[in-house]
Amino acid sequence: MKTLLCILLLAGVAVAGKKDKPAPAANPLDRYVSDAEARSAVASTTTPGSIWLPGSRLADAARDVRASQVDDLLTVVVNEQASAVATGTTKTQRTSSTKNSITALAGVTKATGALANLANTSGDTELNGQGTTSRTTTLTTTLTARVTHVLPGGGLVVEASKDLMVNSERQTITVRGVVRPADIDATNSVQSNRLGQLEVHINGKGVVGDAVRRPFILYRLLLGLLPF
């Protein structure tokens, strides 16, 4: 009886200690579809007997094709170039001289020869250093962004995400920013240099990403200790 009770207690502890695995993060496209469906569910319905339906082409015949509302799409042309150059120069110079001599030896005879110039030292130290670093980054791509918010001043908060998978190498590009409706051209496109608060994130994961990733600290310490 005691053995059975112990088994039941252990089983209860094991079940209580088991933690539920966290749900996987939602895919950006799935999240976009669910948000659009949620907004569509609470949207106002058409008045019975109305001739025009909100989703028909005739209803949007006179509507501007440029993005202006939440969930509207527009094209973002990313063409970013950044370059930085830093130059530093260091120069130090120091000269020192010391001279000691003896004019009389034990008060009897006058010091001559090598004794007259017992110590004569001089030193000259000079350091010249110069360093230059430069870096250039170029990103050119095109993404389709979605309007996530409409600001009170009329600005549109847009967000775009592109996920590429090639040969087990995954690359994710995310662009966010605020655009003025006046900066959107007739083709419903906007240049990235017209976006305020621009954020561009590029993350890579795969064979190439693992090769260029910095190794852990123990491996770096081992490399520093090895003579080869």
* Confidence check: pLDDT of 55 > 60: no
Helix (H) or strand (E) holding 7: helix 2-17
pLDDT reported for residue 179: 92
Per-residue pLDDT band at 94 (split at 50, 70, 90):
confident
**DSSP of 22-80, one letter per residue?**
PPPPPPHHHHHHHHHHHHHHHSPPPPTT-S--TTSTGGGTTS--S--STT-EEEEEEEE
Instruction: Tell whether the model's pLDDT for residue 116 goes beyond 90.
Output: no
Mean pLDDT (whole number) for 47-59: 58
Q: What does DSSP say about strands 119-150 and 189-191: parallel, antiparallel, or unpaired?
A: unpaired
Residue 127 has φ and ψ, to the nearest 5°, of -130, 125
